[in-house]
């Protein structure tokens, strides 16, 4: 390796074994607890014995498109049109 450029050696990420199980678990928890966000799901996972980082849960949360639906505001007509 002496005399070799640093750009020739690359880091190959390893696939995590538990990633698919964790992804399925997050989806089932989010389906059961509709009003929970990723932070509360992370806390539930920790209580269940998963050694998982909140950043990892957030990344999976975004990739799966999970989350709460946007709040709809109620339409209120104004008094400007009635004179």
pLDDT digits (tens, 9 = 90+) for 9-66: 887 777 777 899 999 999 999 999 888 999 999 999 999 999 999 999 999 999 999 9
Evaluate whether residue 44 is within a structural domain: yes
**What is the SS3 string spanning the chain?**
CCCCCHHHCCCCCCCCCCHHHHHHHHHHHHHHCCCCCHHHHHHHHHHCCCCCCHHHHHHHHHHCCCCCCCCCCCCCCCCCCCC
- What is the number of other CB atoms lying within 10 angstroms of the CB of residue 38? 19
- Which range of residues forms the domain containing residue 44? 18-63
Q: How many domains does the chain have?
A: 1
Is the pLDDT score of 83 beyond 60? no
Instruction: Supply the pLDDT for residue 70.
Output: 73
Instruction: Supply the pLDDT for residue 78.
Output: 75
| 69/65: higher pLDDT | 65
DSSP 75: P
Evaluate whether residue 81 is within a structural domain: no
């Amino acid at each position: 390796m002496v005399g070799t450029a640093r750009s020739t050696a690359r880091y190959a990420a390893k696939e995590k074994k538990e990633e698919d199980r964790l992804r399925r678990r997050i989806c089932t928890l989010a389906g059961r607890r509709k009003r929970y966000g990723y932070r509360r799901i992370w806390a539930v996972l920790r209580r269940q014995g998963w050694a998982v980082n909140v950043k990892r849960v957030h990344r999976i949360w975004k990739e799966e498109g999970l989350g709460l639906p946007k709040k709809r505001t109620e339409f209120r007509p104004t008094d400007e049109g009635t004179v």
